[in-house]
Structure 1
Amino acid sequence: MSDVNKTIDLDDLRKQFDTEARYREFDDWQAKLITVIAVSMSIFHFYTSGFGLLLALQQRAVHLAFVMGLVFLLYPARKNSPKNKIPITDYILAAVATYSALYLVINFDSLVNRAGLPTQTDIVMGFICIIMLLEATRRVSSPVLPCIAIFFIVYCFYGRFFPQLFQHRGFSVKRIINHMYLGTEGIFGIPLGVSATFVFMFILFGSVLEQTGLGKFIIDLAMALAGHSTGGPAKVAVLSSGLMGSISGSSVANVCTTGMFTIPLMKSVGYTNHFAGAVEAVASTGGQIMPPVMGAAAFIMAQFLGIPYIQVAMAAIVPALLYYFAVMIQVHLEATRLGLKGLPKEQLPKLMPLLKKKGLLLIPIIGIVYFLIAGYTPLKAAFNGIVMSIIVSYFNKETWLTPKKLMMAFENGARGAIGVACACATVGIIVGTATLTGLGLRIASAVVAIAGGKLLPTLMLTMVACILLGAGLPTTANFIVTSTMCAPALFQLGVAPIAAYMFVLYFGIAADLSPPVALAAYAGAGIAGADPFKTGGTAIKLALAGFIVPYIYAFNPILVLVNFTAGKFAIAVGTAMLGVFLLGMSSVGFYKVSMPYYLRAVALGGAICLLIPGLYSDFIGLAVLVGLHLLQVVRSKRVLA
């Protein structure tokens, strides 16, 4: 198969699983029109982030106006619609959608003066904006999220006809539109506010870095660091996909970009097709829980909690590292089991020459971390990071950001923000419903009642609900929906707020790996040429730590830095890492030599003992670990003899 055909196949695969990739492609004046609008959007956000934002409602309305205009110009209404031209109806829809959002900016002063007393025109424009938003979200993502939003609007209106536990008196159309459109409680609420500020700037930052060649540099760096070790290509996939995924914000998109390189590399050294696809899917999905960006969820979580973003990022580090440590342990044990070697060193990039040539590309990432720790807002940190990226690019001719590349970065940044913005705005309807009707507390009460007021059953019900609610949703919408619907039940039982939000985030993200939806796993299977369900099942095994660790910090939130003391934290992290090691042994069924099922069950029990808090359970887990190590050493000597 030629490289051209590979590219075409990969594009088709991405469009199959990543709805945001199903945009029209032009090569005439229409392409230039899209470029002008997209670049203008990026310039607006770049300027306002550096020199002063508009008032909240105005900033969000301009952001949504750009987004909806681009959606109707870029995304066809149906799969069989023309992909190389924009029909006149979509020009009209783009204009109507744009004006329905800009109406709030144009008439801002008069709307403020008559707050709470909307005119008929206000209501009509609100109705149009809601309809246009739902259609735009359907086009750029899928019908799932708009249908959920419509259900919640119906619930606002017909609340008196719902089961008693969820009943309310019902609200008029005028009241619903006023709440959802003419304030910051609905469409233009916190989710869209985060999209219009922090999220857009970090997406733009990633787009600028991409044009400097950071993606290839990260893969080369991972190859230099881990390519020669046992099962090196799989470790390269874990490192590179984790780093890229933490910036890109989309697990499926990351699978389709880094996966086209890492999956064939894993297969070339002897990993099975489904295992290679699963490793890439798990590593890319883990990027959604890895700071700094966390699929934009970190910024929204900080807003919901009312704490600085850096606190959320710091709290997320240990759980994310445990997740990746578990994956790395399993790929190492699998490689040892199969006798797989790393790549020859002569075929790998040399670390020091690589750092000398392109190491400066790491400066903007290090700079952003510094600015965040130093107390800068994420918005200012991202602005400074973009400026640093542009400056650093000129130190190496290969990384130069020429005017053409910079314009491409600004266009791709705007395109990359479309899906997140539509999801945030649409989810604003769900959040608005919760604030208007008190639905979140009603659901929380129902979950706690079903679980008998016990924390463990409540966590298990919440896990299932998050996986179901998160199926097929982008990370940002996923987190907002699960945090609005599921987290209040955990609050009622005394779970620390940040631990509760992390819990719902982890299991919402797990939907990308869990069949039957499992978009990331199926995308990996497509590239690997593997059975989708087998790949999904393997992905769940590899991500097992991601299914267990959230329970641990729900009971013992010191892992997310709640009630932090250095000694207890060190013990919790140390025992958790040993527990994750045992978990990897149990999952792969190998340590020194193959392990029979009864020993794998013992390893799983020991892992759980080490993961859960408690002195006695830690001693039991350590005893299991030492005992299994000694037993497997003896068994391996017998095999060799």
Structure 2
Amino acid sequence: MSNAQHKHSPKPAESEGKSAIEQELARANVDNDPVAANQRLFTGSRNLVIAAMCVAYTVFHLLVMNVYPLETWAYRLTHVGGGLLLGFLLFGSQPFGEDAGPTQREGLMSKALLVLAGAGVLYGLIGVVAIWINGTLLGDLMPPAWAMSTFGIPLTLGTSVAIVHGWVFPHRGRMQFAPGDVVLALAAIAFTAYLIFFARQLQLRAGMPMALPGDMWSAITGVLLIIELTRRLAGMALVIIAGVFVAYAFAGPWLPGIFEHRGYDVKRFFSYIFTDNGVLGAPIAISSTYIILFVVFAAFLQTTRVGEYFVNLAFAAAGHRRGGPAKVAIFASGLMGMINGTSAGNVVATGSLTIPMMKKVGYRPQTSAAVEAAASTGGQIMPPIMGAGAFIMAEITGIAYMDIVYAAIIPAVIYFVSVYFMVDLAAKKANMMGLPRDQLPKLAKLAKQIYLFLPIVVLIYALFAGYSVIRCGTLAMITAAVVSWLTPHRMGPKQLIQALDNGARMVLQLVAVCATAGIIVGVIALTGIGSRFSTVLLALADQSQILALFFAMVVSIILGMGMPTTAAYAVAASVIAPGVINLGVAPLTAHLFIFYFAVMSAITPPVALAAYAGSALAGSDPIRTSVESFKIGLAAFVVPYMFFYSPAMLLNGGWFDIAHIAATALVGIYLLSCAVQGWFFGHANAAVRAALGAGGLTMIAGGWITDAIGVGIAVVLVLIQRGRMGASDFARGAD
């Protein structure tokens, strides 16, 4: 064993008395966690500087949210600028093509580009300092003419050159700061400082003829930095979409039909984009409050090992059952996915343990990855946090947060029950066994630590008691730290710093994608394409609500392919929701419908980020994994239509109606699960599977007649299966 392995493996004292699962989970937390690996990669002064900056970034947000409120624009700009600063220092650029070895000519060219980029950004930074000195020390709100007229051009050009340098000459060693990334970090400081200093005046002149050249150049620099960090952290899909929307803002006069608009000059467009109608709009409003709060909460659970307890308890309760590890993944991944707000990230975090365990009991690699992807993705539709989706929806629609939470309960439960049906039927079909009890944590022992559930209990109780979401998240975070004092992983100053550091690192991708989503939303608001698209949607649907919802589903999934849920929902809601609502669909139903499909895009082929993350851990084919995750999460593609036809599923109605809809929905989902898996009290042939699918679909509408048809089909199929297999085989199939 290497020194590194000795260093990070659990100590003998820590492993003594632990089950195989508990020891495996401890190793997964140390060796497979991407944040911990990132920390171990950096050593020396570089790591200390970044750690200090990450802690400061997290503490700043917690203080502003709980103790010392800051002016809204300044706070959101600091959130974005600080995220860009940390992002460029932490995550190096990757080339578009193959990374060839450097030549002497490349070395000279690289240095020349760095000098050019550094000079431009440094000049811009000096100009911002001059503006600050003039306004703060001399009391003159108007900056020196030279600073205002000339600082922005070198700043933008220097930033552009530094970005291109990163593409062509990526930094190969990450043990020290990459010079090009330092230049980009300084550019982030420069444009953020300018916009914060002029925040009040910028609110009055943004997007107007009175906008100043400095406003424009600072905004252009900010957009360039946001797009580049998104490319580094979330890939090209969202970057391409954002690029198309930005180009659309300028190409309007030459476009046909509904896409035509009068166009906008560069100064008006970019100064408008950095307002609360664009980058500083709803996605960043949520990212700078609820998302970072609950990501830090997840970091606290991770650091204190309280999150580890949830997984151990799930293994103790269900690990011995048929296909046990898959059922554990449903619970553990759903719970953690609800909190951390990113499907692919949750797959990596919990899948490092659950996927190997599923493979161990007989699930194929692609099935193991697909189950983990479906469960992690489903966490984002599970109340009360919904991966920050409930908060974004409340911000966009004005609907009370608790109304959204209540409405989402039954659809979320049905989704997870359907995933459970899928894995249980697959286990029956393959005659799988669970894990041996001697390899599992002891339930009686874990029951004595039930107090470790207190952070979740406090969170849910505080939410339903009417406290603000920020207060609830903060109380849950404090509770996680306090209950850790009753465990060997007591949170002290060192662990506190680690949790604050991890929280900042974990949120950076979401900051980038929310800011990019804000750019897209800003273009939609400025050009009016959203309302025109809604008009076309209404025309195509020809006053048919169900046809409009079908179009909404398709657009939501397409937008969500390659985009994190937060960005996908924000964009889809801006483009589609108004048209659907104009057809008479209730706003809450319309937005939940769009949100569900934006979430499920993470497991929808051909671009399924959560499934791809799982396939990397399982060693399976990404496309086949995405197809199987789509099948396992099939209920999520049916449930939104159920609550459209039956508002009682959203707790809108009497208790009898709600109970009726919930019960028949479960029966319908079970029939669909049997159809997909090909098992209904035994092997189901093609004809039986087709009948099962038809029976399940008839129960979508929630009417008494359609429900009776579905139940009648199920009863007939039970009799057919019993007659075909015989009583004894039928009984074994039902076990």
Please report the TM-score for the alignment, with normalisation by the length of structure 1: 0.93
Match of 1:590 among 679, 683, 690: 679
| Cα distance between partner residues in 2 of 1:114 and 1:514 | 43
Q: Is the 8 A contact 2:605 2:630 kept in 1?
A: no
| Cα distance between partner residues in 2 of 1:502 and 1:221 | 31
Does 2:336 correspond to 1:320? no
- The 3-state SS of whatever aligns with 1:53 is coil
Where in structure 2 are the equivalents of 1:62-73 lying within 5 Å?
62-73=78-89
| Cα distance between partner residues in 1 of 2:84 and 2:612 | 29
| Cα distance between partner residues in 1 of 2:669 and 2:616 | 29
What corresponds to 2:179 in structure 1? 88
Structure number, greater radius of gyration: 2
- The 3-state SS of whatever aligns with 1:158 is helix
What corresponds to 1:238 in structure 2? 330
**Residue 404 (structure 1) shift:** 1.3
| Cα distance between partner residues in 1 of 2:572 and 2:173 | 34
**Residue 110 (structure 1) shift:** 4.6
Match of 1:268 among 356, 360, 382: 360
Task: Select between 36-45 and 263-272 the one with higher mean Cα deviation.
Answer: 263-272
What corresponds to 1:372 in structure 2? 463
Match of 1:131 among 220, 224, 248: 224
| Cα distance between partner residues in 2 of 1:477 and 1:83 | 32
**Residue 464 (structure 1) shift:** 2.0
**Residue 631 (structure 1) shift:** 3.1
**Residue 322 (structure 1) shift:** 0.9
Residues 462/211 of structure 1: CA separation in 2 closer, same or farther (3 Å cut): same
Does 2:492 correspond to 1:399? no
| Cα distance between partner residues in 2 of 1:133 and 1:338 | 48
**Residue 408 (structure 1) shift:** 0.9
Q: Percent identity?
A: 37
| Cα distance between partner residues in 2 of 1:481 and 1:110 | 28
Q: List gaps (5 residues or longer) in structure 2.
A: 10-23, 96-169, 731-735
What corresponds to 1:162 in structure 2? 255
Q: Is the 8 A contact 1:23 1:74 kept in 2?
A: no
| Cα distance between partner residues in 2 of 1:21 and 1:609 | 50
Deviations 1:395-424 (CA, angstroms, capped at 9, x unpaired):
22x231121111111011011111111111
| Cα distance between partner residues in 1 of 2:203 and 2:435 | 65
Where in structure 2 are the equivalents of 1:492-641 lying within 5 Å?
492-561=582-651, 563-637=652-726, 640=729
**Residue 112 (structure 1) shift:** 5.6
What corresponds to 1:439 in structure 2? 529
Deviations 1:32-85 (CA, angstroms, capped at 9, x unpaired):
111111100111111112114212111101111210101111111224432412
Where in structure 2 are the equivalents of 1:178-577 lying within 5 Å?
178-181=271-274, 183-357=275-449, 359-396=450-487, 398-561=488-651, 563-577=652-666
**Residue 541 (structure 1) shift:** 1.4
**Residue 527 (structure 1) shift:** 2.5
**Residue 24 (structure 1) shift:** 10
- The 3-state SS of whatever aligns with 1:611 is coil
Task: Select between 26-35 and 224-233 the one with higher mean Cα deviation.
Answer: 224-233
| Cα distance between partner residues in 2 of 1:220 and 1:246 | 18
What corresponds to 1:58 in structure 2? 74
Q: Aligned partner of 1:124: which letter?
A: W
Q: Is the 8 A contact 1:242 1:283 kept in 2?
A: yes
Task: Select between 109-118 and 161-170 the one with higher mean Cα deviation.
Answer: 109-118
Q: Is the 8 A contact 1:22 1:75 kept in 2?
A: no
Task: Select between 386-395 and 366-375 the one with higher mean Cα deviation.
Answer: 386-395
What corresponds to 1:40 in structure 2? 56
Q: Is the 8 A contact 1:495 1:555 kept in 2?
A: no
- The 3-state SS of whatever aligns with 2:638 is helix
Does 2:194 correspond to 1:103? yes
Deviations 1:173-211 (CA, angstroms, capped at 9, x unpaired):
222122112x31111112111111111111111111111
**Residue 638 (structure 1) shift:** 5.3
| Cα distance between partner residues in 2 of 1:495 and 1:331 | 34
What corresponds to 1:122 in structure 2? 215
Residues 533/153 of structure 1: CA separation in 2 closer, same or farther (3 Å cut): closer
Deviations 1:404-456 (CA, angstroms, capped at 9, x unpaired):
11111101101111111111111111111222121111111222323333223
Deviations 1:328-366 (CA, angstroms, capped at 9, x unpaired):
012111212222222233332222321313x22211111
What corresponds to 2:65 in structure 1? 49
Does 2:235 correspond to 1:142? yes
| Cα distance between partner residues in 1 of 2:229 and 2:362 | 44
Residues 311/114 of structure 1: CA separation in 2 closer, same or farther (3 Å cut): same
Q: Aligned partner of 1:275: which letter?
A: T
| Cα distance between partner residues in 1 of 2:39 and 2:179 | 17
Deviations 1:527-574 (CA, angstroms, capped at 9, x unpaired):
22333332222212111111111122223333223x332221111111
| Cα distance between partner residues in 1 of 2:441 and 2:32 | 29
- The 3-state SS of whatever aligns with 1:590 is coil
What corresponds to 1:177 in structure 2? 270
Q: Aligned partner of 2:649: which letter?
A: L
Q: Is the 8 A contact 2:35 2:505 kept in 1?
A: no
Match of 1:77 among 90, 93, 107: 93
Once superposed, what is the RMSD of the aligned Cα atoms?
2.7
Q: Aligned partner of 1:120: which letter?
A: P
| Cα distance between partner residues in 2 of 1:293 and 1:612 | 28
| Cα distance between partner residues in 2 of 1:180 and 1:354 | 52
- The 3-state SS of whatever aligns with 2:177 is coil
Q: List gaps (5 residues or longer) in structure 1.
A: none
| Cα distance between partner residues in 2 of 1:19 and 1:480 | 27
Q: Is the 8 A contact 2:603 2:626 kept in 1?
A: yes
Question: Which one scores higher on RCO, CA 8 angstroms, separation ≥ 6?
Answer: 1
Q: Aligned partner of 2:82: which letter?
A: F
Residues 145/525 of structure 1: CA separation in 2 closer, same or farther (3 Å cut): closer
Q: Aligned partner of 2:221: which letter?
A: I
Q: Aligned partner of 1:532: which letter?
A: P
| Cα distance between partner residues in 1 of 2:425 and 2:42 | 48
**Residue 230 (structure 1) shift:** 2.0
Residues 19/348 of structure 1: CA separation in 2 closer, same or farther (3 Å cut): closer
Deviations 1:570-622 (CA, angstroms, capped at 9, x unpaired):
11111101111111111111122111111111111111122222111011112
Q: Is the 8 A contact 1:329 1:581 kept in 2?
A: yes
Residues 449/25 of structure 1: CA separation in 2 closer, same or farther (3 Å cut): farther
